[in-house]
Homo-oligomer: A and B are copies of this chain.
Amino acid sequence: MATYELEHPAIEDVTLTDVLFALSDPARLEIVREVADGPLDMAACGATNPDLPKSTKSHLMKVLREAGIVRNVPNGRGRLVSLRKDELDRRFPGLLDSVLRS
Contacts and interface: CB of A to CB of B under 8 A. Distances in A.
Interface string A68-102: 00000000000000000000000111110111011
A29 interface: yes
Q: How many copies does the complex hold?
A: 2
A61 to B, nearest CB: 18
Cβ-closest 5 pairs across A and B: A94-B98, A21-B24, A20-B24, A95-B98, A92-B102
A interface, over-half SS: helix
Interface residues of A, number: 20
Interface of A: 16-18, 20-21, 23-26, 29, 91-95, 97-99, 101-102
Contact of A16 (B93, B95, B102): B102
